[in-house]
Structure 1
């Protein structure tokens, strides 16, 4: 009787797991293909596929021991300062995701969008920070009253969760590591992407730091990182229209890329338009899009990054 009960429970558990797997597969939108929406004046960013330090290290800074030998490292998240300096988090590793450079640690790159032909350069990180375990996944910037720039980078050392705080030292093209934050509950922002539910949650932040949900915007794609167009307030979204291809990588049928622009997100009927879409022939697995002065940057989980002049 006990054995029969155990087999019955096992059967029920397998059935539940099967149901959950089918639900997850449906949420990943494995079958949706995209029609290309090209932008003029685009080119892949130099320095993303092959990034290394361009300056001689001093005693205070650590250097990259190896170059990436031409392998794509991705640009999972991008944040742009009001002065046109863009920061990229690169080299994300995840057990369920494909990686073109699985043995290379992550890094932070910078690109000056005011230059005529901008190029991404890796920022040096101060000695004492464990660069070998740097696995950046998301980046935000903050400028204080003294115009000092701080970077808040979500990190997954050994696939755990931390937030690393850096001070940007522009004259040195470097980052001074200030603090590692470890906490079970990390802060949420006003716009929150629910990737598997294909939703964006709009939250109101109150003076006491409490959040109230205002609305939920449903989209027919997997939504990844969100950014705000500073000139219009529009929300730009890096998306995965066929997410299953991210986890079952096939170079002959790679994951697509999609960038959406959401106008008037607080209105009853926000306007959602496709800014860029590609079937993977140029860009695979778009995770973020950010704009500055009619210049658009599109990053990916593990592939390349695109620079467009709008």
Structure 2
């Protein structure tokens, strides 16, 4: 009798976990297409435009070419396209296409596979520094810091940062010339593919949030399931973190010692990726994967469909900014426009939508 009860309980636990996983991975979702206005694909930016961040004057920086995401089985994707690159798109001249930036300085560009990016603009000098997560070929993740030269359309390499707590970095946000918060999405890393799959499917919360300053990388918050995109409010008071698979936005208050304290959790009921901000209003723009299991199949074969979704979050009450949050779906697409949206970057009623391993789209926001 005891054995029978134990067996039934074990079956119930397993069945519940399977049901939750199927729900989180979007097996029961349907996509209904709608766009906020006219949209077009920006040619030449592929495979992937995983992260996009925009400056105060409308220059968008785009990362392309995550290591390990190249689809060698697809004959239309040639090896030169698998190189890591940074592109620039000018929102002020949206009729133009994106241009590839060149690198200067002592930098190993042949082992450059960019993921999350963040732009730091010096409030006094106006200097623009681009921080880039680099999945280096050595399997040692690092953060590269570049100075942007607008006249030369180039990125001058300033510094590479590595550390024992910088090991499975997904995204980062710069808060100073050489200071940043970052997310480690998983505990296991690239050399252990089976362990990575186990961590993703089992629901283990072994990801974390780190902080780097003055040569020291420190884990400041642990116990998260696949922490992904990260950003900071325009006033620097709050840190936003997207947890990919649970689809929960974590909001933290930033303390004077740069530690963080959770103040709010927002369940967005979708798979959320990178977070960008409207620097004037503080609105959050989030790239999402409405059906996550299709994204995983798309990463294996670019021809497989994957949906795209963009959410905008507006905090209505400035005195109590997280009491009333307006969530609006700006775009939903079944792959007809782009596949696997990972980021949405906004500027002056215009938007760029990046993807993990597909293309880059531009939309005008007329009705949303």
Settle same-fold status: TM greater than 0.5: yes
2:115 equivalent to 1:137? yes
Name the residue aligned to 2:84.
Answer: 106
After superposition, residues 59-98 of structure 1 pair within 5 angstroms as: 72-94=46-68
Name the residue aligned to 1:273.
Answer: 328
Name the residue aligned to 2:187.
Answer: none
Offset of 1:294 from its aligned partner? Answer: 1.1
Name the residue aligned to 2:221.
Answer: none
Offset of 1:29 from its aligned partner? Answer: 1.9
| 2:306 pairs with one of 255, 259, 265 | 255
| 1:126 pairs with one of 96, 104, 110 | 104
Question: Cα–Cα, structure 1 residues 36 and 208, in superposed 2: closer, same or farther, change >3 Å?
Answer: same
Listed one character per residue, the Cα deviations across residues 138-191 of structure 1 (whole Å, up to 9, x for unaligned) are 110011121111000111113432111001011111111111111233524500
SS in 1 for 2:151: helix
Inter-partner Cα distance in structure 1 for 2:141 and 2:246: 22
2:197 equivalent to 1:148? no
2:242 equivalent to 1:222? no
Question: Cα–Cα, structure 1 residues 251 and 134, in superposed 2: closer, same or farther, change >3 Å?
Answer: closer
Listed one character per residue, the Cα deviations across residues 193-226 of structure 1 (whole Å, up to 9, x for unaligned) are 1101111100111222111111111111110000
Inter-partner Cα distance in structure 2 for 1:299 and 1:169: 23
Name the residue aligned to 1:46.
Answer: 43
CA contact (8 A) 1:256 1:279 kept: yes
Offset of 1:120 from its aligned partner? Answer: 0.4
| 2:287 pairs with one of 211, 216, 238 | 238
RMSD: 2.6
Question: Cα–Cα, structure 1 residues 80 and 214, in superposed 2: closer, same or farther, change >3 Å?
Answer: same
Inter-partner Cα distance in structure 2 for 1:180 and 1:23: 40
CA contact (8 A) 2:54 2:345 kept: yes
Name the residue aligned to 1:68.
Answer: none
| 2:31 pairs with one of 31, 34, 46 | 34
Name the residue aligned to 2:210.
Answer: none
| Aligned positions, number | 272
Inter-partner Cα distance in structure 1 for 2:15 and 2:62: 38
Offset of 1:39 from its aligned partner? Answer: 2.4
CA contact (8 A) 2:49 2:357 kept: yes
Farther off after superposition, 259-268 or 272-281: 259-268
Structure 1 spans left out of the alignment, 5+ residues: 1-15, 49-71
Inter-partner Cα distance in structure 2 for 1:130 and 1:32: 43
CA contact (8 A) 1:201 1:217 kept: yes
Give the number of the structure with larger relative contact order, counting CA–CA contacts within 8 Å between residues 6 or more apart.
1
Question: Cα–Cα, structure 1 residues 252 and 208, in superposed 2: closer, same or farther, change >3 Å?
Answer: closer
Offset of 1:293 from its aligned partner? Answer: 1.1
2:149 equivalent to 1:169? yes
Inter-partner Cα distance in structure 2 for 1:295 and 1:282: 16
TM-score (norm 1): 0.80
After superposition, residues 150-229 of structure 1 pair within 5 angstroms as: 150-158=129-137, 159-185=139-165, 187-188=181-182, 189=231, 190-229=239-278
Structure with a larger share of its residues in strand: 2
Name the residue aligned to 2:198.
Answer: none
Farther off after superposition, 188-197 or 76-85: 188-197
Farther off after superposition, 280-289 or 86-95: 86-95
Inter-partner Cα distance in structure 1 for 2:303 and 2:156: 42
